[in-house]
Chains A and B, each alone.
Chain A
Amino acid sequence: MAVQVFDFGISLFEHLFDPKKRLFIGYLIAALGIAFFWLLISKKLTIRLALRKIFDRKVFFSTSSRADFKVFLINRAFTLFISPLLLTQLVVATFIFNLLLKVDWGTWSFALAPSKAVVVASFTFCVFVLDDFTKYIVHRWMHKWPLLWSLHKVHHSASHLTPITIYRTHPLEGILFSLRSAFTQGISIAVFFYLFGNQVDLFTVLGANVLVFVFNVAGSNLRHSHIGIQYWRWLEYILISPAQHQLHHSIATEHYDKNFGATLALWDWLFGSLHHSIETEGLALGVEDDTSEAAHGLYALYVLPLVEMANYLTKKTKELKAAIWRVAHRLRWRAKPGLKNRIKSSS
């Protein structure tokens, strides 16, 4: 137990020093710098005003932000116990790789012989793009399917966004994310090893995928912040700007189900969910049907989603039962005359 408590203590801070994590100190500093210069240059604020804007007490000490932090702490403890049980990408990769080896492709030829650099670059690119795409798909499902929305609502109930809001996630949703990641990476690894064997590798900077690194250095932490940086219109077709993501958190109905993308806006553009950024100053964030203080309590964040899901399932089961009963009832009516006829003819 003592060891676990110690692990827990360590795990709270490891995110700050792990360049594979969004909250890595370097990425936070990069985001600060970008925000600072953007406020100076684009918003023409003075240095003092810019700093005051960035470190806005109203944002960081809001009920919503304090709730984010509580969820972060509780989820870390939860992760410590649950993560050893989760499917890892290596299990998925090995399984798929072995499946691939059993497939007979017939005369199809693997005449691929690129250099190692090409293999590594392709893998780095593919794993990044596939990861981003599956994030888009799963995020879309989280919004469109009522059962999943009950979980995802926890994240959207934040009325103020800070970098820590990325951890405002229901644990069950966390498990789904972990599975998504395991499958995406597992498939990428298996397919590339099938094609190129041990040549496959990842281009990394400080141990992180170089593309993830670039995304994070370019201010990924500003997505969840009150700094509404907008990109050029053309760029917002390709990359999601911080303001575009903040709009995704907006209460306004016209912003519902828009900008699901994580890094690339391409998916939103392709599947019709793209919305260009707007001026986010004064934009109300959260879930429309509940902006009360209670929405940031532990009951609302952990238990309510489960209650909602249970209610939804009960309702659907009832509907299903009713439907089955109706069908059975109709069949019985149809069956009866036949039965009568058979009895008649036999007597």
Chain B
Amino acid sequence: MKISKSKVRVIALATGILSSSALATAAFSENTYGPFPVTVKGYSGSKTNSVSYTGQIARHVLHDSLKKLAGKGDGGGNAAALQAEMMSYFGGSDKNKAIIAPVDKGDFNIKQETVNEISSGKNLSGKSYKGAVTAWPGQMTGGEVLASMIAHAAKTNGGFDPSTGYNFPQLISKFAMGAVFYNQAVDNYLDEKLAADNKPNSKPYKDGAHYTGKEHVWDEAFGYWGAAAHSLNLSASENYEVAKMKNLSAADANGDGLIDLKSEMTFAHAYYASSFDKGGNTNYMSTVTQAFIDGRALITSANGENLTDAQRAQLVAYADVIGSNWEKVIAEAVFKYAGSVYKDITKLEGLMAENGDTTKAFATYGKHWGELKGFSMALQVGKKNLGETAVKMNRLIGYGPVLMNASQVTGVDSQGNFIKDEAQSWGEYKLHMLKLQSMLADQFGLAAKVNDQTANMADLADKLGSADSAEND
């Protein structure tokens, strides 16, 4: 069969149009974060996917490992060595470190075993919140607070200090997620780095990079969020199970039987978002992740040129959706643990009245309080100053949990030791938790409201019955 030249041209053109539109579809309407094509001008390398956020995943792994280490203290004997090890995960960037968490669990096999397999030279301390943390005694920066917590954690037995009620693994983990991930994402990458002249889209992020300035800025923010690249294809429960390492098939997007931490794992706040969404009243996980994907598609569509004002305005709008929902996720967590603390105290009061053994219940109380405090501190290191809300929140929670003898940490001395003082009754502290829940629900418009201590109010009103029929006694 003979095909004329003109026919060849038509077929070639048609194929070209079809394939380029197919590529565009692939790039802009996918449910996954990447792959996105390389758009940077003048790139001559072999890379075809411009998505890169391995540095953030490395920090998630450093954080998970640090949390695990924080519970390894033996009561003082290994304090110095443990502190040094924790500090190497927190602040060091020299040697290749083993991943302590997450590691294989049953059939949930993790692809990487060392941090450098993900990204080398990364640490947490360099990216920790630089402002003063008023929620913690000592007038320290975010990084200093974490380093001080690490020092204290190393001296404890299993991470818990009964004399202050501090559960350091929880405090370190929940605050670090805010002071590093949330702060870096919403107060840096999704804030000043979205400005036109900062990391422009018309240039590579750095010389020779296969991604533009804006592409990488956006990717880094997404990396800190912690969602798996394919998380939109999963339900809230599945995302939750991925973080809990219970659902291999949901996590293993490429079906190779291994979980690639670089793209297939759920970390940090994305995990908490899915845990709230599971309840059915919210969809923080998909809202935030969708905004990230849409934003990335928008940047890609600029094809290596600088973004127009309209495109940048749209990008900022996506960033606002991400920032406000991310903040809500943290506020929901504070809300949840305020409810846990309330319930824990009620339980402890019962045990005290019966002269029961309070050791276990007290440790649980300390754990929940650590989460409460850590998340509340994280909430305050975002983009905006929470002002009066932060002041009130810090006063309601205090520097430490109210202990069995009604004392509470009230500050630190010049040596960094915690000072305790007679504080308030448990009844009063419980009331603080109710106030905190009420304030958070109002200020942040919460909807998941897990552990809502007044949720039974509506049921009770129903039980009492309405008086709409006019009965004349």
List residues of A (107-137) whose CB comes within 8 Å of B's CBs. 109-113, 115, 127, 135
**Selected contact of B473 from candidates A109, A166, A194, A208, CB within 8 Å:** A166
Q: Are A86 and B468 in contact (CB under 8 A)?
A: yes
Q: Are A89 and B471 in contact (CB under 8 A)?
A: no
Chain A positions within 8 Å of B443 at CB level: none
Q: Are B460 and A174 in contact (CB under 8 A)?
A: no
Chain A positions within 8 Å of B463 at CB level: 201-202, 204, 207
Given contacts A189-B461, A197-B434, A201-B456, contact A167 B466 (CB under 8 A): no
Q: Are B428 and A101 in contact (CB under 8 A)?
A: no
Chain B positions within 8 Å of A182 at CB level: 467
Q: Are A197 and B471 in contact (CB under 8 A)?
A: no
List residues of A (76-102) whose CB comes within 8 Å of B's CBs. 76, 79, 82-83, 86, 88-90, 93-94, 97-98, 101
Output the nearest chain A residue to B431 by Cβ-Cβ distance. Answer: A110
CB distance from B167 to the nearest CB of A (A): 23
Q: Are A198 and B456 in contact (CB under 8 A)?
A: yes
Given contacts A189-B460, A189-B461, contact A101 B434 (CB under 8 A): yes
Q: Are B457 and A173 in contact (CB under 8 A)?
A: no
* Chain B window 145-156, contacts with chain A (Cβ cutoff 8 Å), 1 for yes, 0 for no: 000000000000
Q: Does A223 contact B (CB under 8 A)?
A: yes
Given contacts A110-B428, A115-B350, contact A90 B473 (CB under 8 A): no
Q: Are B453 and A98 in contact (CB under 8 A)?
A: no
Q: Are A193 and B457 in contact (CB under 8 A)?
A: yes
A109 to B465, CA, bound (A): 33
Q: Does A321 contact B (CB under 8 A)?
A: no
Q: Are B435 and A113 in contact (CB under 8 A)?
A: no
**Selected contact of A167 from candidates B453, B464, B471, CB within 8 Å:** B471
Q: Are A20 and B465 in contact (CB under 8 A)?
A: yes
Q: Are A75 and B470 in contact (CB under 8 A)?
A: yes
Q: Are B470 and A202 in contact (CB under 8 A)?
A: no
Chain A positions within 8 Å of B426 at CB level: 111, 113
Q: Does A305 contact B (CB under 8 A)?
A: no
CB distance from B446 to the nearest CB of A (A): 15
A170 to B470, CA, bound (A): 8
Q: Are B427 and A112 in contact (CB under 8 A)?
A: yes
Q: Are A209 and B464 in contact (CB under 8 A)?
A: yes
Q: Are B473 and A135 in contact (CB under 8 A)?
A: yes
Output the nearest chain A residue to B467 by Cβ-Cβ distance. Answer: A181
Q: Are A83 and B468 in contact (CB under 8 A)?
A: yes
Q: Are B457 and A93 in contact (CB under 8 A)?
A: yes
List residues of B (414-473) whose CB comes within 8 Å of A's CBs. 424-428, 430-431, 434-435, 438-439, 453-458, 460-461, 463-473
Residue from A98, A110, A174, A201 having most chain B Cβ neighbours under 10 A: A110
Given contacts A79-B469, A101-B434, A177-B470, contact A193 B424 (CB under 8 A): no
Q: Are A101 and B461 in contact (CB under 8 A)?
A: no
* Chain A window 183-200, contacts with chain B (Cβ cutoff 8 Å), 1 for yes, 0 for no: 001000100011001111
Q: Are A93 and B349 in contact (CB under 8 A)?
A: no
Output the nearest chain B residue to A110 by Cβ-Cβ distance. Answer: B427
CB distance from A267 to the nearest CB of B (A): 12
Chain A positions within 8 Å of B471 at CB level: 21-22, 166-167, 169, 177
Residue from B424, B460, B463 having most chain A Cβ neighbours under 10 A: B460
A167 to B457, CA, bound (A): 29
Q: Does B224 contact A (CB under 8 A)?
A: no
CB distance from B356 to the nearest CB of A (A): 13
Q: Does B346 contact A (CB under 8 A)?
A: yes
Output the nearest chain A residue to B454 by Cβ-Cβ distance. Answer: A193
* Chain A window 280-323, contacts with chain B (Cβ cutoff 8 Å), 1 for yes, 0 for no: 00000000000000000000000000000000000000000000
* Chain B window 334-362, contacts with chain A (Cβ cutoff 8 Å), 1 for yes, 0 for no: 00000000100010011011000000000
Q: Are A199 and B466 in contact (CB under 8 A)?
A: no
Residue from B428, B456, B463, B465 having most chain A Cβ neighbours under 10 A: B465
Q: Are A169 and B470 in contact (CB under 8 A)?
A: yes
Given contacts A90-B461, A109-B427, A111-B425, contact A198 B473 (CB under 8 A): no
Q: Are B466 and A88 in contact (CB under 8 A)?
A: yes
Chain A positions within 8 Å of B438 at CB level: 97-98, 101
**Selected contact of A109 from candidates B342, B428, B453, CB within 8 Å:** B428
CB distance from A295 to the nearest CB of B (A): 16
List residues of A (154-186) whose CB comes within 8 Å of B's CBs. 155, 165-171, 173-175, 177-178, 180-182, 185
**Selected contact of A194 from candidates B342, B434, B461, B465, CB within 8 Å:** B434
Q: Are B464 and A185 in contact (CB under 8 A)?
A: yes
A97 to B453, CA, bound (A): 12
A139 to B473, CA, bound (A): 8
Query: Which 3 A-B pairs give the minimum distances between C-beta atoms?
Result: A174-B470, A110-B427, A181-B467
* 10 residue pairs from A and B, CB less than 8 Å apart: A79-B469, A83-B468, A97-B457, A101-B439, A109-B428, A115-B350, A177-B471, A193-B454, A198-B453, A202-B460
